[in-house]
Structure formats: structure tokens, C-alpha cells
């Protein structure tokens, strides 16, 4: 089997899809507006950075996800359709979609691997026609979201892939994400989507075989 793993945010689309969706859905919600103000405070930014670096805790993602508490799954399913068609498609990165299509035509098993919410990744996977996806899962109780994250895979994407136990002879990785460095170490070849924000990191941590694709954010 030949496999191509593709990241989502800032790789296929110029978007942090989790937070862009939350803004799309909650932009007039009072709790959301207050959280946005909190997120902008310097002391909060420092605290969030420390928690993430030392304990792999993304406080911002945890707090914002709580906005989903009590919302019916069907409501989110309906809104993700609007988010994709009205927002995400306008931020498509053509270069990476072309590369993905090349590997699809070559018969590679395509995996969309992202730490974004599962309902977002599921929608994109369906629209672009990949074989499977792996994403951050949200907790549900019946037909409602609880506002809790069941499993955030941001720091464990490579482990989630390894745990699938797939027998492959070639692995291609397409990503911009610095947390995917362990995935690139498994890859036969990597396409690294670089911009001003991540260029220094990837120049310092070049994969074994790679191609840099520079795009404007």
C-alpha cells in the first residue's frame, strides 16, 4: 500500500478551521465575545503558552469548545454545510489540492489527518474524496454535544497513524504544521507548506526528502 497523509488547516485551506467555524457559528454570542476578549489578554496568552508547552493542554481550545454544550448534533451538521460552502471553499490553497489529486490519481490511500473537530474534518474528507480521516473527537450525549473534547490529537497525530497498523511501502506527508515533524520522520517524501510564520522551524528541521511549497497566508 502507498499512503499520502494530508493536513487540513493552512495546508489545504488558509484557515484554522476549528476557530474559524466557532466564529462563523457564534460570532454574535455573548459568551463567545467575552472569550475572544479573554484570549487577547497578554497574561492569558502567557498562561496558555505555558500550559501547552509543559502539559500539552490547549486551554483556548478547551474553553471555546464549551460553547458547544447543549447544541444538537443536527444543528452543527447543518451549519457545517454553510461553513464549507460559504467560507472554506473561498480559502482553498490550489497548490496543495493539485498535489493531493496527483496522488489520488496514482492510487495512493489518502488520509486526511487533522486536530480540527471531527465534524469539520469529516465534511472536508467527504467533499475532496479521501479514503479516510483522523481528527479530534468531541463528546456527545445522545443527540447533543457536551462541550467537552473526547480526544485532542494535536500532539499525537503520528501515534494515531502508527496505531492503525497499516502495512505500507511508501508514505507521503503534506503539511505545514510543526507538530507533524514526527510524521515527516516516517515519510518517504514530504511536501512542506511554508510561510513566514513556520519557515524558520522547517529550515532548521528539514525532513529526509522534501519539497518546500511557499504560499501566502
- Rounded to whole angstroms, the Cα distance separating 23 from 2 reads 37
- Rounded to whole angstroms, the Cα distance separating 21 from 15 reads 9
User: How many separate domains does the chain show?
Assistant: 1
pLDDT of residue 216: 78
Tell me, what CATH number does 77's domain have?
Answer: 3.40.50.1000
Q: What does DSSP say about strands 189-194 and 144-151: parallel, antiparallel, or unpaired? A: unpaired
- Whole-model pTM: value is 0.96
In the predicted structure, residue 136 carries a pLDDT above the cut 90: yes
Q: Which domain holds residue 162?
A: 2-214
In the predicted structure, residue 125 carries a pLDDT above the cut 80: yes
Over residues 8-53, the pLDDT tens digits come to 999 999 999 999 999 999 999 999 999 999 999 999 999 999 999 9
| DSSP code, position 3 | E
Amino acid at each position: 500500500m502507498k499512503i499520502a497523509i494530508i493536513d487540513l488547516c493552512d495546508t489545504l485551506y488558509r484557515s484554522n478551521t476549528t476557530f474559524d467555524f466557532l466564529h462563523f457559528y457564534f460570532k454574535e454570542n455573548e459568551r463567545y465575545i467575552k472569550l475572544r476578549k479573554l484570549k487577547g489578554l497578554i497574561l492569558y496568552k502567557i498562561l496558555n503558552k505555558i500550559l501547552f508547552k509543559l502539559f500539552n493542554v490547549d486551554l483556548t481550545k478547551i474553553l471555546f469548545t464549551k460553547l458547544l454544550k447543549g447544541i444538537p448534533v443536527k444543528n452543527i451538521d447543518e451549519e457545517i454545510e454553510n461553513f464549507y460552502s460559504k467560507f472554506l471553499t473561498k480559502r482553498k490553497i490550489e497548490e496543495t489540492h493539485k498535489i493531493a489529486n496527483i496522488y489520488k490519481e496514482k492510487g495512493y490511500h489518502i488520509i486526511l489527518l487533522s486536530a480540527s473537530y471531527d465534524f469539520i474534518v469529516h465534511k472536508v474528507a467527504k467533499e475532496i474524496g479521501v479514503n479516510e480521516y483522523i481528527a479530534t473527537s468531541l463528546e456527545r450525549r445522545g443527540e447533543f454535544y457536551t462541550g467537552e473534547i473526547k480526544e485532542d490529537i494535536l500532539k499525537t497525530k503520528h501515534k494515531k497513524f502508527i496505531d492503525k497498523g497499516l502495512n505500507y511501502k511508501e508514505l507521503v506527508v503534506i503539511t505545514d504544521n510543526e507538530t507533524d515533524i514526527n510524521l515527516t520522520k516516517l515519510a518517504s517524501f514530504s511536501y512542506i507548506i511554508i510561510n513566514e510564520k513556520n519557515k524558520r522551524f522547517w529550515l532548521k528541521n528539514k525532513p529526509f526528502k522534501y519539497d518546500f511549497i511557499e504560499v501566502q497566508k
